[in-house]
Structure formats: structure tokens, C-alpha cells
Amino acid sequence: MMESISPAGTDAAAGTIEVRLNGRVRAVPAPLTVRQLLEHLELRPELVVVERNLQILDRAAYDRTEVLAGDALELVHFVGGG
């Protein structure tokens, strides 16, 4: 039986990839966009600033930016209070 070879940080059988999320390695579903990742994490995309591989993403790009194995993502979530 041949074993499939996946890029580093992926688990093709489980449909997940590993990313660094706010400094911690985490397995997330794949494939997915930044918007889908935020929704998976139950965060409202309009209230989150995303830095991907040291570059701040424009919110308009969340739908078209794919999360890739090995990406380093920093999420800053704004909350209101009073």
C-alpha cells in the first residue's frame, strides 16, 4: 500500500493543517480561508485584525486569502465594554 506524502504541517487523512496561532501550534481544518478560520474559531471577522506571516491583512482579503500549513497568524479581537 502506498502512503500519501503531504507537505510538512499537513495531515491529509484528517483534513487538517498546522499553523501557529497567536504563538501556539494548532491543527485547523483544511482547506479554509482566513474568514472561514475566524468563523471556525467563533470570532466575528469584522472585529478581528489578522496578521499573517508578519503582514496585516486587509479585511476585504479575508475571503480570498487561504490559510496554508506553517502560516503564522496573530489575531487581535476587539471587545467593547463600559
Percent of the chain clearing pLDDT 70 (strictly above): 80
Query: Which residues of the chain, if any, have pLDDT below 50?
Result: 1-7
**Close Cβ partners of 66 (under 8 Å, ≥ 6 residues apart):** 31, 32, 33, 34
How many angstroms separate the CA atoms of 58 and 28, rounded?
Answer: 22
Extents of the domains making up the chain: 10-77
* Structure confidence by residue, pLDDT tens digits, 55-78: 999 999 999 999 999 999 999 988
pLDDT score for 24 = 98
Q: What is the 3-state secondary structure (H, E, C) of 34-75?
A: HHHHHHHCCCCHHHEEEEECCEECCHHHCCCCECCCCCEEEE
10-77 CATH fold: Ubiquitin-like (UB roll) (3.10.20)
Start-to-end C-alpha separation, the chain: 61
Looking at the whole model, is its pTM more than 0.75?
Answer: yes
